[in-house]
């Protein structure tokens, strides 16, 4: 089953400056070359592997690095590689390591680089939303049913942009808490907020909020 890697990085400069952009570009290109040489089963090219870098629309210091892997173990091979050990320190110099967070979303390739027309892939969307739903372990299946029951509301409103979701693999401090991660494209933040105010959106929100203890929504734009 595929997994989606998501890394939250906060820049020391407080924004995405030329130096940070250059380091990010060097890192993802080095990873792409390594994957091409060492993981022949992987799709060729950055977008084909869901690789991109985004900036938070509300907090310019927060950036998001994404990629798709066949498994957490496969990602671990890259992390342990000599190439990663060489280039990652360059990125470390640019970010607040105390705020670095990374995790994997199970069973989904969330950052699509291509879709069947007329659908628009996430990596081509002007804005993306990243939503975390915090759910008690005992209500995980209930949330799954709720999500499947109302996802058509989201898909219909957001079309032609696509939305996908899955469960975060890594546990947090609360071992009894699960996190469902939803990723999707929008024309603008205003369009996304318009969904919440629509009849479809109200039904969507009410259904999921009845199961999730809380949710956190962030919006990002892609710069690499």
Q: Clarify whether residues 136 and 56 are in a common domain.
A: no
Cα dihedral 107, 110, 113, 117, rounded to 10, equals: 90
Separation CA 135–CA 161 (nearest Å): 26
Q: What residues have CB less than 8 Å from 40, skipping those under 6 apart?
A: none
Q: Are residues 140 and 171 in contact, defined by beta-carbon separation less than 8 angstroms?
A: no
Q: State the pTM of this model.
A: 0.96
The domain boundary residue, chosen from 55, 75, 106:
106
Joined together, the tokens standing for residue 164 give 């996908």
Distance CA 7, CA 220 (A): 13
Output the CA–CA distances (angstroms, integers) from residue 59 to 90, 133, 218, in the order listed: 22, 20, 9
Whether 97 and 144 share a structural domain = no
Q: How much is the pLDDT for 175? A: 84
Q: Which of 106, 138, 161 is the last residue of a domain?
A: 106
Count of domains in the chain?
2
Give residue-wise pLDDT tens across range 154-190. 999 999 999 999 999 998 878 899 999 999 999 999 9
Q: What are phi and psi of 132, to 5 degrees?
A: -110, 125
pLDDT digits 0-9 by tens, 19-77: 999 999 999 999 999 999 999 999 999 999 999 999 999 999 999 999 999 999 999 99
Q: Which domain holds residue 26?
A: 3-106
30 in a structural domain: yes
The CATH number covering residue 200 comes to 3.30.70.100
């Amino acid at each position: 089953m595929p997994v989606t890697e998501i890394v939250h990085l906060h820049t020391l400069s407080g924004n995405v400056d030329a130096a940070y952009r250059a380091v990010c570009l060097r890192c993802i290109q080095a990873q792409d070359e390594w994957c091409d040489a060492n993981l022949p089963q992987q799709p060729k090219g950055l977008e084909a592997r869901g690789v991109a870098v985004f900036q938070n629309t509300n907090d310019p210091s927060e950036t998001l690095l994404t990629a798709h892997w066949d498994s957490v173990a496969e990602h671990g091979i890259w992390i342990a590689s000599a190439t990663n050990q060489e280039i990652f320190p360059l990125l470390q110099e640019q970010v607040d390591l105390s705020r670095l967070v990374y995790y994997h979303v199970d069973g989904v390739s969330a950052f699509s680089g291509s879709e069947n027309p007329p659908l628009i892939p996430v990596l081509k969307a002007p804005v993306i939303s990243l939503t975390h739903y915090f759910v008690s372990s005992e209500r995980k299946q209930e949330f799954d049913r709720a999500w499947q029951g109302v996802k058509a509301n989201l898909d219909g409103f957001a079309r032609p942009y696509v939305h996908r979701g899955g469960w975060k693999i890594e546990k947090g401090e609360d071992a009894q808490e699960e996190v469902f991660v939803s990723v999707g494209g929008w024309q603008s933040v205003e369009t996304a907020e318009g969904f919440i105010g629509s009849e479809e959106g109200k039904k969507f929100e009410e259904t999921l909020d009845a199961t999730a203890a809380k949710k956190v929504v962030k919006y990002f734009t892609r710069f690499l």
